[in-house]
Amino acid sequence: MTDIWIAPEQLFDGERLHTGKALRLLDDQVVEIASATSAALPLKGCLTPGFVDLQVNGGGGVMLNDTPTRQAMTKVAAAHRRFGTVAILPTVITDAPDVLDRAAQAVIEAQGDQGILGLHIEGPHISYARRGTHNGRFIRDLDDRTMEVVARLRRRDVNVMITVAPEASTPQQISMLSSLGAIVSIGHTDADAETVEAAIAAGAKCATHLFNAMSPMTGRAPGAVGTVLNSNLCSGIICDGYHVDDRMIALALRARPKADLMFLVSDAMATVGGPDKFSLYGQEVHLCDGRLLNVEGNLAGAHITQAQGVARLVKHIGVSLESALRMAVTVPASVVRDAGLTELVGRKTQDLVVVSKDLSQIGLLADVTGSAMNENAAE
């Protein structure tokens, strides 16, 4: 049995950033946190619970829409784990109804699998005008078929986030989804402020990738963007320098009525941990200078990890490391109502992450401690 204490330079416990703390590891599990002593093995960097991502379309060369299976979800989760994201909501985007049916069955089979939190259903109940890269021929209003899919998943206690445009659903439907325990997220919408406010009153709790695929904010019409900013909705945001200008992210963070309403999402596609191109709706999407572009030259998802999003928040936007980690761990964990994702004690070392001081390197604690122990023994 391995019984050691390790003392990282910084420790994020899911709530706050600390120095001078040490963790006791029994084999591959954290069992205690206390003040560091000279007996503890020093560890460079910041130790944190692994990142949580509630919008992951693909990874490792796999797109969930193309392969809506348990095996595909497992491969996507494994690809993101390499970059410090240990828990994901695999995301199925606008497509034919049978694709959603298959994704729902896959996530039921995947319950309990490492890193799979549930399913994010992003479309097809969205605005045609704000569809982005989603295929317009599959877009339709929210219907009984999708409602039954959500009900089926919730009967199995599967986490469900469903992105809908308020104009493609009714307040009654949103209320029903909410009563089922689904997380209703407003997105891909061209709705005005009053329509968005009605959806919030009906039970919507989140917004999907703020600024992207939303009616914009102007001085006389708040649109979806302004309404979300002024609300108590939690909102995902993509922080890759392409989807949203860094200055607008800074503005959004200042504009929210209270703390912990913003969380990072990657909106990652198959290229994360995979090849530099993939097929979406039968058309090639390729990676070009950090951006994923479709045949029309438009953005088609993102090529970024949560670790890179954290680094950008700190280095380019001026967010504190503690706040950035809350956006990548604490807030998304609260959205899916899983406090265990923010904890250190009781967690396996394969679910904890060490980030270098300059935020450029990341590794799972399971790997980093083995290397540190070997170096210490050599000395």
Residues designated as active site: 267
| Token pair belonging to 16 | 């706050």
Q: How far is CA 258 from CA 93, 262, 307, in A?
A: 30, 10, 24
Residues 6+ apart with CB under 8 A from 54: 88, 89, 117, 120, 161, 236, 263, 265, 332, 335, 336
Which residues of 50-158 form beta strands (DSSP E)?
51-56, 58-59, 62-63, 85-93, 118-122
C-alpha–C-alpha distance, residues 268 and 88, integer Å: 11
Residue indicated by tokens 């990874």: 59
Q: Which of 365, 237, 320, 273 is nearest to 62 (CA)?
A: 273
CB 270 within 8 A of CB 60: yes
Q: How far is CA 54 from CA 21, 295, 359, in A?
A: 30, 27, 22
| Token pair belonging to 46 | 């910041």
Identify residue 179 by its one-letter amino acid code: S
C-alpha–C-alpha distance, residues 147 and 178, integer Å: 11
C-alpha–C-alpha distance, residues 88 and 90, integer Å: 6
Cβ of 9: how many Cβ atoms within 10 Å?
A: 15
